[in-house]
Chain A
Amino acid sequence: MDSLFEDLRRMNKRQFLYQVLSFGMIVSSALMIWKGLMVVTGSESPIVVVLSGSMEPAFHRGDLLFLTNYEQDPIRVGEIVVFKVEGRDIPIVHRVLKLHERSNGTVKFLTKGDNNSVDDRGLYAPGQLWLTKKDIVGRARGLLPYVGMVTIYMNEYPKVKYALLAGLAGYVLIHRE
């Protein structure tokens, strides 16, 4: 540990600025990759983790899903969509059960989880009976099993997440090149 701080103490202003910028670049690269994915897929959250078992046996808790949200691809009954209920942050992954479409293009969806016995009306906001296009985050296009468990653990034990991030930040800031 001591040698790490030695390195830091011996740095002059420029060295230190470079270390801070290196850290900034790592954070920025991650950020830019995420925003880049958002732009390419058209979805505000291109990668989501399945949080419940309501879509078994297709998806299990902890699976990682890749989404797209293209305007030109209309959503049809039977497709799996990820949506967010207004006022709640948690994305829900379920299948489209019913669809109403108007000639001007506005659509209304009703969804249901494969493993649930009732449709999602109980999950929607009070008074809301249908989902609209703006509630949809995207359609599921790809799957990586189990990988999302890491995210679930880190959210259940936030201290682990902060400790890991702090450790990483400390290491990058102090270690030279």
Chain B
Amino acid sequence: MVRPGELSVDSSTNHLRTPSRTVTLGRIQPQAPTYRTVYCNDRDSNYLVRLKCLHGNSISTTKYNVFTFLPKGLFEQFRRIANIYFLGISCLSMTPISPVNPITNVAPLSMVLLVSLIKEAFEDWKRFQNDMSINNSTVEVLQDQLWVPIPWRKLQVGDIIKIKKDGFFPADLLFLSSINPDGICYVETANLDGETNLKIRKALERTWDYLTPEKASEFNGEIQCEQPNNSLYTFTGNLIVEKQTLPLSPDQLLLRGCSLRNTEYIVGAVIFTGHETKVMMNAMNAPSKRSTLEKKLDKLIITIFCALVIMCLIGAIGCAIVTDRDHFYLGLHKKDCEYRNGLTYYLLVPQIAFFTFFTLVILFSTIIPISLYVSIEMIKFIQSTQFINRDLHMYHVETNTPASARTSNLNEELGQVEYIFSDKTGTHTRNLMEFFKCSIGGISYGCGITEIERGIAQRDGLKIHEEQRSTGAIREKGFNFDDPRLMRGGWRNEPNPNLCKEFFRCLAICHTVLPEGDESPEKIVYQAASPDEAALVTAAKNFGFFFYRRTPTMVSVRESHTEQMGKIQDVSYEILNVLEFNSTRKRQSVVCRYPDGRLVLYCKGADTVIFERLASGMDDVRKVTGEHLEHFGSSGLRTLCLAYKDLNPEAYDSWNERFIEAKSALRDREKKLDEVAELIEKDLILIGSTAIEDKLQEGVPTCIETLSRAGVKIWVLTGDKMETAINIAYACNLINNEMKQFIISSETNAIKEAEERGNQVEIERVIKEEVKKELKKSLEEAQQYLRTVGGPKLALVIDGKCLMYALDPALRITLLSLSLNCTSVVCCRVSPLQKAQVTSLVRKGAKKITLSIGDGANDVSMIQAAHVGVGISGMEGMQAVMASDFAIAQFRFLTDLLLVHGRWSYLRICKVVMYFFYKNLTFTLTQFWFTFRTGFSGQRFYDDWFQSLYNVFFTALPVIVLGLFEKDVSASLSKRYPELYREGIRNSFFKWRVVAVWASSAVYQSLVCYLFVTASAFDGKNSSGKTFGLWDVSTMVFTCLVIAVNLRILLMSNSITRWHHITVGGSILAWLVFAFVYCGIMTPRDRNENVYFVIYVLMSTFYFYFTLLLVPVVALLADFIYQGVERWFLPYDYQIVQEIHRHEPDSSNADQLEIANELTPEEARSYAISQLPREISKHTGFAFDSPGYESFFASQLGIYAPQKAWDVARRASMRSRPKAPKKN
């Protein structure tokens, strides 16, 4: 047992380390103050813990179970206002004031509820099956000195289990031992945080031996640890083995959801199971979003409701006027009214009017389309699961990732996006770095031409011949360099071969990369914290300095051509110190000892920091290298400067003492380390610089160009430096030189001066002033440009620090109006929080529809803040995807997602909504007109069943087919004419004007159906002079209505498939069949046999057929004329496009043609880049993604994000262990 005091000490030190909060994926949960004790290998003792976690290791993500399904599901359904409304109507219709049988309202409502519940049940069933398959996967657990496979769900706290290579951890485990002798294992945490580089976990030395089943069964440690919580990067606890207390850290924790890599097997003890695991505690439901269109739909529904109230008021007033005892046949003078005579009679009239009002509410309740929501839901569900998820155009072959709509609520929102907020890395760029050029000792090497340069040249009208690559040029991942002067030992003949040698050694030694796999140049795999690093090491390999092995103290390099051509020798350098990279230092150094005892410091970093620290007398090289850097930068390359310094052993030793001291400091360790590093990183000798190409994602410039033609404005929000961001913006065609750029940067002199003075309050004031001034000035200028016709487009570049102040409520409006006037906006150096703030600024401030796209954990907040969140799936991990509404594999698939699926969905949903509105209005209005002729009594016009089945049966399917198959123009044309998308941004199809057109159409059609039939049905209607009654007339009207309303679908469809014919014909036929059956039978129940035989009576007259031909034609004629005139005089854009391509067959053939004509991505990219600036920009494009990047921003925000203990980058500095050659 641990003494409580000991644990509290531990937790207090923990508090020192975490001053405020820890970074978690989801909401922050208060940590339970107590701790739990887990007894390993002792199931019985753990009953206390198990009591709390009833389900063991089984998880359940279902919403309902068998018993809660009905109450909970119904409750969910009645949270919708429309369903409540119909429930109220149904209740009202049970009262005697109802003009209709309750079935009229109950039947459709139950139908709608049934469909929704079935859908819920189906989805929940799928979740359940998914859970079951997870719960039933097996894991080997220790039982009686044997590894026995059991299902995951039977796993219990305290169990000792064995995980094999590539297996997933079934629960949160305490890492006990590994087959690797140094007690480490590699885990992939992609499911957790999306990072795909491997992390190292290290078991406590004390437990290394518990590897075999025999030995492991002897293990009887006690684990005292914190209560389950959702903080992924923290863990505190103690392990008590044989009365010895050992502190535990996140290094020993293996989290559920991660998988074991590169390690044969490991053994661990279960600490948290099932829902108590950190990943499950973090499981968050993406916030449910409602589409803007749906919110507008609510407004429409409210308007309809108002119309309903007005109609009922008219009816009630009319009733008060008309109702009259003189109509003796109504029996008003009898019984119930007998005692009311004389004066009281006048009290009766308002009473009757009052009840009539509610009678009419029930009667006209059909004006609100009950099946609208459920139909839309069905349509959207099919759209997302069948169309978006299965679109071959959005399937990425290389990563084997199809698109995935994670919610079906937002399909039509995709058709109205006006602002896209995009992350840069991994979204625009592949985060795939290639070593492209370098400069050594003032000589520039590398003859490749970047795509950006090619673009510039092309725009200048120069033709670039693809230079013949020298034979045997190597091209591999991370390396795209060609220059015979350096390759294959050619550097030996260069003016400065020694400097070249230092250059290559610096590349091969000064890094924190971890080699994996076979130690041969072909098979080795470099694990690096940033892809830049891997590219540099790969470059060294190709230059003949093959880094193949790292131990905590050694770096082994296989060097060729050093002494003489062709000679190969393995050299091991002892790594004495690693001075890590961070974003303030902007550099990284390694102190190493050659086998011959030479002590060297290698350093690489940003040009500015390196140049400051050079030894004197290097001005020439420095100047030339500086020029090269500028050139590289303007070509869109990311640069780093390399330098070295020979160290004097005595000086080094004294420095090393101070270093060790700093390293073991308990307070401000980082700061002290930085200070110590400054002491040695000086008087450097410049070697040269590297230039790395950050490959753009395939098709990004084309996609961006297409989207901007579509009227979508793209903002780039990135954590990168301003220069890098601008570079990429140029490369992506977001900014070009014709644009007027407003740059608001915190790197101005005034701010710098203030910063040097160091007074926080003053700094803030100065920055605020500066930002305010800049914003005001820019806005004025922008407005001036906008007033002039044909002025340049505008672009805004702003950095995170300025943004912080610009987002201040006082300046927010200025920022917003400035940025809304700009075509492109680039925000650099922004934190995840700021990304979200900018997104909400536009979303809430400008009321525009926004979309955020990103791939990493730092994009989550932005993705959730926007109307639509899109995650890039496939390459990186799951974090962004889990928070997103749609996941696509590539940025370029946005074109398909927005221009094709979004536009179609928008169009379809608009049409569906309008059609629902129209068909219910038409139906209800015939009833309304009839009310005028019944003395406003609220008599129903149609039979109960006709009325209840109208919505759910006779007109339900065609509109769903419309919602699924409606296409104005084909997919390829949608992409070819991106401007068509603007109709969605302008919301052309869901305006009040459109509503008014449909409403007038409904008024007209209902009048035609009602008046024509009633006017002509007056006298004897067959040759034997018999007359029609009420139900004959109403059935006639109903028949005409069903036909007209169903045919209207065909008139409004732009593409009529077989399904249109089947459903439209089927609906009309269904009505007739229903009428034949329903009119042909007498039901045994007591009801008025109003419509008995009516249809047969009707069909026995010629009148029926004459009317049936006339009325629908007349009803649709007005719409036909309207459409004809509108198309001719005020054509929509899509109609013109239809006409342009009216003779083209629309099928996959056309698509194939399209693809054949399309430029290859490479060509397209170079074409797009041809819009790049002519003059050389002055920035040098330093960029070096640091592993500590996130924590840097977090600390700026006052949030402490602990350094991830398993970062590969830190692996090199782990010197705690005695030298032990790594077995492989």
Q: Do the two chains bind?
A: no
Interface residues of B (CB under 8 A from A): none
Interface residues of A (CB under 8 A from B): none
